[in-house]
A and B are shown apart, each in its own frame.
Chain A
Amino acid sequence: AQTIHQWPVAEIKAVGSPLSLGCTIKGKSSPNLYWYWQATGGTLQQLFYSITVGQVESVVQLNLSASRPKDDQFILSTEKLLLSHSGFYLCAWRTPNSDYTFGSGTRLLVI
């Protein structure tokens, strides 16, 4: 069975500090991976997607970047956090039946 794991579970960071969030999927080779951002109680906004190692496509510009260093790993990062980066970050992969399975998310508070 495939599992998707995100880390850390939550972060409190200062404005201007760097950030790195991780996502790992096990049990699936060459998954399509996605990063989403969600404001509290809000909709899900797709940020990035990756269909293969080393290849990442940006969907919106939010002063964030993403990388796919390994087949099962997707990283979201920035060098300087903004207050507007606060929210819930979700990693997802596309299952064979075209559903999108989400991880349990990372809650980020920028102060």
Chain B
Amino acid sequence: QQKVQQSPESLSVPEGGMASLNCTSSDRNFQYFWWYRQHSGEGPKALMSIFSDGDKKEGRFTAHLNKASLHVSLHIRDSQPSDSALYFCAASLRGNNAPRFGAGTKLSVKP
């Protein structure tokens, strides 16, 4: 049973557009969330962590967490071709528990 579900599976946006990725947890015990980005052939890199309800903004990236609905999203504004990658949502019970990863969203940004 997948406890961290991501949608869509793949997403294509034009350069300069907005990309929106979604993640829902089926386990109410998950309290800590991360977004990771993985370019082909590389290890994943942490983009953002979000542990509290509301928005968290870092540059072109904004994460939103709603713990009541167990939903976290990632919005990328002014998308660039270099943003093309596999994006993973990850969630854990506590900060020092290794996170459970979703299946990923493949983002393609077309020039």
Contacts and interface: CB of A to CB of B under 8 A. Distances in A.
Interface residues of A, number: 23
B34 A99 contact: yes
Interface in B70-111: 86, 88, 90, 95-96, 98-104, 106
B49 A99 contact: yes
A33 to B, nearest CB: 10
Interface residues of B, number: 22
A2 interface: no
Contacts of B86: 41
A87 interface: no
B58 interface: no
Interface of A: 32, 34, 41-46, 49, 59, 90, 92, 94, 97-105, 107
Interface of B: 32, 34, 41-46, 49, 86, 88, 90, 95-96, 98-104, 106
